[in-house]
A and B are shown apart, each in its own frame.
Chain A
């Protein structure tokens, strides 16, 4: 069981401020990562397409 899951499974009345800060820190990190993924998601580079020599393809006709 992860530390996060333990926090969620604990009676909230017995959670300390430190526990709550750990929970908040976890989700802040997750948000940061989510935002970074969004910003780094650049459009994929166009696939390089070599020009085709139709004449060569058609046997010089």
Chain B
């Protein structure tokens, strides 16, 4: 429903995007055609919603716990119990068209990302980091720095109108750790979070945006991002903490690059053509659209419509 009330991230009557988040910019950087299909047209592979939904419930529960602990001074067990209760309620499906029918538990049809492993992961994470040396910052308004949505107006725009570009997104949490401040980002993954996994965040589009947002929008001189990765397996959840740092010079470099990327996106929109970067098709385990693009253009639409559905992505939707 929120998608309907949020403004469009595109300039009116065009396909020129002015509000960007790490997801949409990531698509563009990876492959303009991927950006066209995912952002301009809003195609999503059917069945991938489970990862998004699992992540949303996981984040929401941890956010609630942080708020209860910092803002309401609840003790660990009480805040944990409440977070679990709310997670169970949020994953209990009721029938909107007939409220008289009994509800049912969310069935993800996924062996490792389901309601039970969600509850287990929340409990294990919160118990693991019960006495976390990374403490949540309290903002000037007295609220804990958790789930902070940001919209950062840049000092440049495209060649159309006066609308400046906007960077937007959500920070899970801002913390203090070892005398320094960091954005904390919680991630769930199906694979083991090895040092190689964490190396993948430097450089990284999302982590650069998060660092920039914390420094500019929240005036907090963060050193970088702490990544709390949770490996969700059928029988266990394993946690690993990693760090990625950004200097001022690196962030300025990132911004200069972003300006060029935005101009590229504008040029693609003007031309009505987003070229395929066929050297990226095999990256990250293979592009979701690879199966479609491997077909001749004249039959692609049929394959697209059978395996994908339209779920537009809007960086301006508040969380």
Does A associate with B in a complex? yes
B105 touches A20 (CB 8 A): no
| Inter-subunit contact B236/A12 (CB<8 Å) | no
Is the pair B85, A31 in contact by a Cβ cutoff of 8 Å? no
A24 touches B236 (CB 8 A): no
Contact call A23/B119, Cβ cutoff below 8 A: yes
Q: Give the CA-CA distance A12 to B94 in the complex, in Å.
A: 12
Which of B81, B105, B236 contacts A21 (CB under 8 A)? B81
- Interface majority SS on B: helix, strand, loop or mixed? helix
A11 close to chain B: CB less than 8 A: yes
In Å, the complex CA distance between A12 and B88 comes to 6
Interface residues of B in 36-95 (CB under 8 A from A): 80-81, 84-85, 88-89, 92
User: Is A13 in contact with chain B by the CB < 8 A criterion?
Assistant: yes
Q: Are A15 and B127 in contact (CB under 8 A)?
A: no
Closest CB in chain A relative to B232 CB, distance in Å = 13
User: How many residues of chain B have a CB within 8 Å of chain A?
Assistant: 19
Docked complex Cα distance between A9 and B104 (Å): 7
Q: Is the interface of A mostly helix, strand, loop or mixed?
A: helix
Chain A stretch 3-61: residues in CB contact (< 8 A) with chain B: 8-9, 11-13, 15, 17, 20-21, 23-24, 27-28, 30-31, 34
With A15-B88, A30-B120 already in contact, the answer to whether A24 and B105 are too (CB < 8 A) is no
List the 10 closest A-B pairs by CB distance, nearest first.
A12-B88, A27-B123, A12-B89, A27-B120, A20-B81, A34-B236, A31-B124, A12-B92, A24-B123, A20-B85
Q: Given A11-B92, A20-B81, A31-B127, 18 other A-B contacts at CB below 8 A?
A: A8-B105, A8-B119, A9-B105, A11-B102, A12-B92, A13-B89, A13-B92, A17-B81, A20-B84, A23-B119, A24-B81, A24-B84, A27-B120, A27-B123, A28-B123, A30-B120, A31-B124, A34-B235
| A interface residue numbers (CB < 8 A to B) | 8-9, 11-13, 15, 17, 20-21, 23-24, 27-28, 30-31, 34
**B-side interface residues toward A, CB under 8 Å?**
80-81, 84-85, 88-89, 92, 102-103, 105, 115-116, 119-120, 123-124, 127, 235-236
